Structure 1
Amino acid sequence: MAVAVSGRPGCVLQRTLSWTNTSRSHSESAKTCREPLFLLSIDRYGKDLGFGIFFPEAIHTSDSLYDATVSDGDCKLRVTIHPGLNPLVDKNELRCGCQLRNVTFSRVIGLDGRNEGDGCPTYRVMNLEVDLDAGFDAGLEAFCGIDIDALPWFGLEGDSRPSLLPLRARRSSYLPMWNNHDYYGDMWKYTAPIQPVANPASDSGEDTEDLQPTVTLREVRQAFLCRSRVVKGILIVRIIHKSRLFYYGKAERNCECPYKAMFEVADRSGQATVVLWNTLCMDWYRCVHPGSTLRLARYRVKESYNSRTGERPKDDIEISLNSRNPSADISLIPKSDVLPQWHLPHTPYTFSCAKEILTCPVGSTCDVIGLVVFVGRPERTRNKDSQGVELWEYRWLQLEDGTTEQPVMVKLFSTSQPEMHSNIHPMTILVCTNVQLMRVSPDRATSFQYLTNTSLTQVYSTGSGHHSTMPYRRLRPVRQFVQWVQTVDENQLLSRAVIGGFFTYPPLPVSLEKYMRDRNGEPGLVTGAELRREVEKLQYRESRTFAIQATVSAVSHVGSGECEEEGCSALSNWTGQLSSTSSTCSRVPLTHPSSPSSVTLSPRSPRLRARQGPFGCGQSAKRRLFHTAEPPRKRLALPLHSNQQTDLEEDADRDFSLWDASMEFLNKTEEADSDEGEDEEEDSGSASSFVTAASSPGSPRQCALGQARAASETVPRRFCPTRRLVQTAAVGLQPACLQEALPQRKLDTFAPADCYHGHYTLTLRALTDGGMVDALFLPGSPGNLHWRPYPHPHNNSWENTLTHGSFSPSAPPPSPSDLIAMATQLTSQRLVCVLEVCQLGSGRVEVVLSRAFPLKD
């Protein structure tokens, strides 16, 4: 049977993939495309039991598989990435927009059950190279002016499209690129699959008996506990709380839609937990929210999971809703059709203000509302409850409500609300429900508290439209907060609004003994070689904390906005002599001139320095799927037609004010009018001459872990309300498709925040094996609301500054030149250094020195 081929004559994919043998064998010889191709998108999904059939020779610990779309500019092709290339995707080295060469394809016919009927071939990419010389913006440049969606699909006729389902596993949807908790794809419905139930009172002449509740939650519970397993009846309940999605897919299970979600529901007789399973999650999860009223029939009653584990014995039963055995009957009742005789309880809220949180008991849950003043960059951490396999995405937020000078700190993990999370930026009003209070006490006199997720946490942000429909807007704490917002000086708030950059919380103790006690059984000190091995295991935006014994070999300071990516002359030409006139970027050796740290830098070109590897070692410009020092940039959901149109879309970001945000709490009509009436303004934040150093190492003396200058993602940015959509996307994670990608340098078009005054770089030498680390030091200082100084005063010596992680809160901090001049205090000083390490992607590693405790003899 002949295979249809789309594309113009001479199409690169057509020339490469024109197999002469049209037999329906399971596999055929591989072919390599020597001409450039571009990666347009990449999608992730979980393995299933068929993995060994598709990839019998592949052995890899990852539970993920990846499908990708590649194009030659004439047509596009859907392929599967061989699992042996997974680590390159995990580290964001193989990413959408990159240019590929020497792509080796193999064709498969008949193995995939989805394609057996039509005999359409599918392709696997067995090997490839990333053309680093082309840069990560190669795809954006190559497809400028091209409608990617209009490109024909190779192997399909006319307007035919490939399946939207994963190619190499029986899964009903793809997973988000960087976490397992969000929904992803068009198959997740936004509206209920069944029309809402009409008001029974208005359906005259019809039998409405089955639309009324015939049983209560109390009766269902009693029947189950009395061992009457068959429980019949119609339940009408109100959703009180909604959980995040739980993905339980495993490689050893063949479940096409391994999702579940939990809802705490109530009627007039009591409460219970409803569990939504599998494909019903795709149909209903996005449609129902706290406050929604549901009619349930054809459900099963089980002993609850919490009761079986003893976690919450009072939740003795759960109502299970599935698509089969039996097929659950679910209806969404409109708010206007809810009858008062049902006596459904209202959604409960327990709002606590910032002042009250200071005295709340640890572990208590509450709801908070606040004005966002800081939104951190997304990072990822390993979930210790799942054998260290799954990575959880989180970021830090700071909220203010006017009740105290201390902001409310929130460590916000994914809540299965991706659209809501993408809309969180400074100067928005944010509501977080069911968050739990955590408190850390580094010493007896000081404690730091923050809020974090529970499984029932939900967030609602200005601009999403939810505030105007939620019942909490009528509560007194919310009304009081909105009144305070309307009195806030917007200019004063905007001057300290920060987005992105490095941030860590809560502060560590100021004593080595306390720090070691608080590690809770985690591994202690690592050697230089162990640190390097562990860092190489980190995936994209994964952050971890390490401790290492070291001495300081050199100290330098880089001022804000004064060192371009090409390098600072004072640093690049350093010969071990401190210059009194170059405190912005100077370096002091703390060892003898013969030591590696005092070697004069070789006059290498800036281009070569920009292509050095993650540990400062020079590498070839083109190499097989490995590190590049160029910083990635993020996403904006815009069609790719031209650079001019992209710029116009960015400049079209609407004006924004706190008054508009507060109006969302009045009524929905006013909110819509306010949105329509916003005026466009010129982009006030685009003209910035600040360019952050990308990843140039401080010295090629030897391969040093880390970077001597801050990467673009390390620098916090001043919030720009007129470009908030672009800025929020630039701070975010690498997108999964080219249409959502931003140019590589987009983040650098935003000015650094006022709290950032440059950074120090300490070159550390491990005591165990001499391994070198370039660690950034970002000390807190008085008046800096972003990196606050530790509350204990001290004399601002190097030892005390490193021990506290900040300058003294009671005295002006020393100037960089004065502190550099005092660097000899660190000569031969043995330290236990606590390092915050984050894999920024594309081979770049950020190492930040959080604490350095002196070792006493």
Structure 2
Amino acid sequence: MYEPLSEFDAGSPAPSSSPPAGQASGSWLQQTREELALRPRLVVREPVPVTVLAVQRYLGESSGYCYDVTLWDGAEQDTWLLAPELCPLVHGNLLRCGRSVTIRRCSYRYLEKRLAAGLVCVDELEPGQEQGSPGELPLRAPAGPLSGDRKHYLPLWNNEDPYGDIWRRGGPGQEPSVDVTKVCSLLKLEMTGLSKITLPPLIVRVMHKSRLRYFGKAEKKTDYPYQAYFEVADHSGMMSLVLWNSLCPEWYNTLQVGNVVLLQQYAVKKSYVCRTHPTSGNAQVKRLPSLEICLNPRDPPPKIIILSESKVKPEWNLPAVKYQFVTRSEFGDLPHNTICDVIGLVIYVGRCERLRRRDDWEDFWIYRWVQMIDGTSEQPFLLEIFATSQPDIFEHIIPMSYLVCTQMRVIREHPGDISYKAYLTTTNESQVFITGHHKGRPYVTNEKVKSYIKWMKNQNEVEIEKKTSVGGYQPYPPTPSTFAKYCNDRKTEEILNTIGELKTIVQHMHYREHKRVAVQGIIAACAFVRNVSQAKMKIKEKGAFKENLSGRFGAVILHSPKRAADEVNI
């Protein structure tokens, strides 16, 4: 079954004539692992296809990211490390959950930092056919990454989303009796905070919440390199509260906008001047900009207690969370960079796309385009929604959902060009909610939200549903009308590429990556083929929409003056 690599196994013992111990169990994975104990480098002579149950990503110790792959052979499942040269298979989504793979070569690696521990590394494999989900088989992935000192996995396609069981959502906990006479106001804390060794307790309301920030680096050994900040307020003003490191997995999903929190054993420091701040809908709340509250896992370990609303006393005079909802009819008058909140009925959801970040070639922002209506205009809202560290919501935005987006920014980059429509994009403090996630949110009492719900009750949902669609590519912002405008676009990285360079660019692009390029050539032939059927969504099953995309598109053949053989289809 196996053929040893001679350069590694010259001194290995001869293979036993009896079958390996794993043979009796019928598990190819177990048999292979036991065989690797005798020959740490093996070429599989009679490979057996196995199914990929999970692909999990984490930051490596040197540079780039590593991937652990959980495999199933029909009898057992095991998690093996993917060799660095195979990582492009994940980048292109060729190696993914539910697909079969044939492993041609693997090796066994001993871990020097873990006594009597080692791992199997996949050195060569061949992607196979789509297998789908193997029924109700429970996933038994390792608690943490196989190699290195990392403590947790990252999401597969971005770094800002919570991922894994470590991101738990806790309850309010045991509520102590609060001695209000010992509670300090935020204004008093700002005046005296840095001179105090022991800081008094605070009672504050969460007014805004940011998305997560992952700051992990290969050379740094922080176990949970995360940061998130909240804006909290009491009767005297509003201040930033920052969660650090392991407190993010513990508290980020628990703390929500509107919560009243008792804080004890915290630290304060001067505010970070480059941090963005939300635009508050409550104009009566004064911002206290000089200090910020820091919650670290230690020095000192904080005490965080969420108080139920029934325990909040009127004499505390905590400010209410207020919003700045605008209707579609009002949206046309808003200037560039205005911050607002919107609610509507989703009629179009684009596919997820990824935009490469400048600071690291393997890091991406993930986003999707959405259109929604609210009954006040014939025109829909156009929304560019980036991941807001709410994967359970972002991944399930579907047509006919009630969508609420807070702290959205108005974009009017080319007000004089009618081909550019104004749209809304998310900010660091944006929160997104869909049907099933609205209960108990502070915005449910807003008058414009109530007006929208009243409008929806009088609509024929069947007729609206006929106008909905999902998937496909939203070509926005549009390509500038002239090449001069294209060159002046600050989002354009390379001005002009040859057709030969275009092939290299496409080969290095990752799954779902979006990139706009310009090529120069002479149009040698142009053909038009009528679209047979438009891409439309018409099936709704179990609360999710299926895509039915078909059609034929024209092809343009460009011949470069220097390389006449190069062709590209668009």
TM-score range, shorter chain: 0.7 to 0.9
Distance 2:186 2:228 in 1: 19
Q: Which of these residues, 163, 173, 178, is aligned with residue 195 of structure 1?
A: 173
Match of 2:539 in 1: 720
Task: Kindly report which structure 2 residues correspond to 1:119-268, keeping only aligned pairs within 5 A, or say none.
Answer: 119-131=116-128, 135=129, 137-138=130-131, 140=133, 143=134, 147-149=136-138, 163-192=142-171, 195-197=173-175, 200=177, 208-209=178-179, 214-224=183-193, 227-268=194-235
Q: Is the 8 A contact 2:276 2:428 kept in 1?
A: no
Gaps of 5+ in 2: 1-19, 280-286
Q: 1:244 to 1:213 in 2, by over 3 A?
A: farther
Q: 1:561 to 1:310 in 2, by over 3 A?
A: closer
Task: Kindly report which structure 2 residues correspond to 1:381-400, keeping only aligned pairs within 5 A, or say none.
Answer: 381-384=355-358, 386-400=359-373
Structure 1 residue 447: Cα displacement: 4.5
The farther-off stretch of 485-494 and 272-281 is 485-494
Amino acid across the alignment from 2:541: T
Q: Which of these residues, 434, 454, 477, is aligned with residue 407 of structure 2?
A: 434
3-state SS of 2:554 partner? strand
Which protein, 1 or 2, shows the higher relative CO under an 8 Å CA cutoff with sep ≥ 6?
1
Deviations 1:95-137 (A, max 9, x none): 2233222432222344353xx3xx3432222222224xxx2x2
Distance 1:413 1:307 in 2: 21
Q: Is the 8 A contact 1:381 1:543 kept in 2?
A: yes
Match of 2:444 in 1: 473
Gaps of 5+ in 1: 23-27, 52-60, 151-160, 201-207, 563-714, 728-746, 777-857
Match of 1:490 in 2: 461
Deviations 1:592-616 (A, max 9, x none): xxxxxxxxxxxxxxxxxxxxxxxxx
With the length of structure 2 as denominator, give the TM-score of the two structures.
Answer: 0.88
Q: 1:314 to 1:239 in 2, by over 3 A?
A: closer
Amino acid across the alignment from 1:725: A
Q: Is the 8 A contact 1:529 1:771 kept in 2?
A: no
3-state SS of 2:197 partner? coil
Amino acid across the alignment from 1:71: W
Match of 2:378 in 1: 405
Q: 1:763 to 1:43 in 2, by over 3 A?
A: same
Distance 2:325 2:277 in 1: 28
Structure 1 residue 461: Cα displacement: 0.5
Residue 759 in 1 paired to residue 553 in 2? yes
Q: Is the 8 A contact 1:370 1:431 kept in 2?
A: yes
Distance 1:72 1:308 in 2: 49
Q: 1:532 to 1:434 in 2, by over 3 A?
A: same
Q: Is the 8 A contact 2:41 2:106 kept in 1?
A: yes
Q: Is the 8 A contact 1:528 1:770 kept in 2?
A: no
Match of 1:85 in 2: 86
Match of 2:393 in 1: 420
Distance 1:404 1:392 in 2: 31
Q: Is the 8 A contact 2:22 2:28 kept in 1?
A: no
Q: 1:187 to 1:444 in 2, by over 3 A?
A: closer
Distance 1:533 1:305 in 2: 41
Amino acid across the alignment from 2:517: F
With the length of structure 1 as denominator, give the TM-score of the two structures.
Answer: 0.60
Match of 1:709 in 2: none
Match of 1:827 in 2: none
Task: Kindly report which structure 2 residues correspond to 1:56-135, keeping only aligned pairs within 5 A, or say none.
Answer: 63-113=64-114, 116=115, 119-131=116-128, 135=129
Distance 1:244 1:311 in 2: 12
Q: Is the 8 A contact 2:336 2:413 kept in 1?
A: no
3-state SS of 1:281 partner? helix
Aligned-residue CA RMSD (Å):
2.8
Task: Kindly report which structure 2 residues correspond to 1:451-470, keeping only aligned pairs within 5 A, or say none.
Answer: 451-462=424-435, 464=436, 466-470=437-441
Match of 1:30 in 2: 41
Distance 2:274 2:26 in 1: 65
Amino acid across the alignment from 1:243: S
Distance 2:440 2:527 in 1: 54
Q: 1:367 to 1:139 in 2, by over 3 A?
A: closer
Distance 1:455 1:309 in 2: 7
Distance 2:491 2:387 in 1: 25
Higher percent of residues as strand: 2
Structure 1 residue 549: Cα displacement: 1.3
Q: Which of these residues, 8, 12, 16, is aligned with residue 28 of structure 2?
A: 12
Task: Kindly report which structure 2 residues correspond to 1:515-594, keeping only aligned pairs within 5 A, or say none.
Answer: 515-519=486-490, 522-561=493-532
Amino acid across the alignment from 2:82: I
Amino acid across the alignment from 1:337: K
Task: Kindly report which structure 2 residues correspond to 1:616-655, keeping only aligned pairs within 5 A, or say none.
Answer: none
Deviations 1:223-243 (A, max 9, x none): 13xx51535110010000011
3-state SS of 2:421 partner? strand
Aligned pair count reads: 542
Distance 1:245 1:546 in 2: 31
Structure 1 residue 557: Cα displacement: 3.8
Deviations 1:159-209 (A, max 9, x none): xx66311111323321111111111111211224x61415x3xxxxxxx53
The farther-off stretch of 238-247 and 297-306 is 297-306
Q: Which of these residues, 274, 281, 288, is aligned with residue 241 of structure 2?
A: 274
Q: 1:304 to 1:8 in 2, by over 3 A?
A: farther
Distance 1:284 1:520 in 2: 36
Q: 1:268 to 1:716 in 2, by over 3 A?
A: farther
Structure 1 residue 769: Cα displacement: 2.5
Q: Percent identity?
A: 33
3-state SS of 2:335 partner? coil
3-state SS of 1:191 partner? coil
